[in-house]
Amino acid sequence: MTNDLNILSLLLPYCDAMFVDNQCRACLEEKDVQENINFSPRVFSLTSKEDFLAYLEQLEAKFPSKYRKKVEELYGIEWINTPTRLY
């Protein structure tokens, strides 16, 4: 757990959002931690997966069409149909 929290403390200042396990998210939501964080990343876990999916949909809706066309040009139209499950 110490290693996880060390990595989170290094990476979170550079992220807009991160998906972590429930235990790490609970640690990050503790009052003492919140009082000492001077940035506002969105932290999601399995307990907030619906919020995470809504966040991703919001990002997709804001994605400019000129960049979408460039992604299609680089990766093909199938980029939108990427797998969403692990096998």
Residue 53 near residue 45, CB atoms below 8 Å: no
Distances (CA, A) of 1 to 27, 37, 55: 10, 19, 26
pLDDT by residue, tens only, the chain of 87 residues: 888 888 988 898 899 999 999 999 998 888 888 788 777 789 999 999 999 999 999 998 998 988 888 888 888 877 777 666 666
Q: Report pLDDT for 86.
A: 63
